[in-house]
């Protein structure tokens, strides 16, 4: 995936495990913990967890249910390789807004 400087997707999960390898640039990865049990549709109570910096050669391993976002904090394009346990068109990915405590489907169509 290539990202312009300042680009950051919303907080999200992947609906499966994921391995993200940084190839070029510098990205800040922010992890969050879910405090609720996920039983209430459309609701998520999140707490910010750890931050880390991804640079060339670093790898982030995410388990099913892990919630994170990344932001390109470099002056140029960042580049990373994403590997998922399932095709992302066939997972129950969610995006989260910690201010409104909301969760909704995060649909990314990949052909």
Predicted local distance difference test score (pLDDT) of residue 98 = 96
Predicted local distance difference test score (pLDDT) of residue 73 = 97
Nearest partner of 12 among 87, 102, 110, 90, judged by Cα: 102
Predicted local distance difference test score (pLDDT) of residue 111 = 62
Positive or negative CA dihedral for 71, 77, 83, 89? positive
Return d(Cα 6, Cα 99) in angstroms, integer. 20
Predicted local distance difference test score (pLDDT) of residue 63 = 97
Query: pLDDT tens string for the chain (111 positions)?
Result: 899 999 999 999 999 999 999 999 999 999 999 999 999 999 999 999 999 999 999 999 999 999 999 999 999 999 999 999 998 888 889 999 999 999 999 987 766
Return d(Cα 37, Cα 18) in angstroms, integer. 21
DSSP 67: E
Burial of 5 (0-12, 13-18, 19+ CB in 10 A): middle
């Amino acid at each position: 995936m290539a990202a312009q400087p300042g680009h950051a997707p919303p907080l999200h999960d992947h609906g499966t495990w994921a391995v993200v390898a940084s190839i070029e640039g510098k990205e800040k990865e922010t992890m969050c913990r879910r405090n609720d049990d996920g039983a209430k549709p459309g609701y998520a109570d999140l707490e910010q967890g750890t931050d880390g910096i991804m640079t060339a050669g670093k790898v982030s391993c995410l388990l099913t249910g892990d919630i994170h976002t990344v932001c390109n904090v470099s002056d140029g394009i960042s580049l990373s390789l994403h590997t998922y346990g399932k095709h992302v068109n066939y997972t129950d990915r969610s995006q989260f807004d910690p201010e409104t405590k909301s969760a909704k489907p995060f649909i990314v169509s990949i052909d």
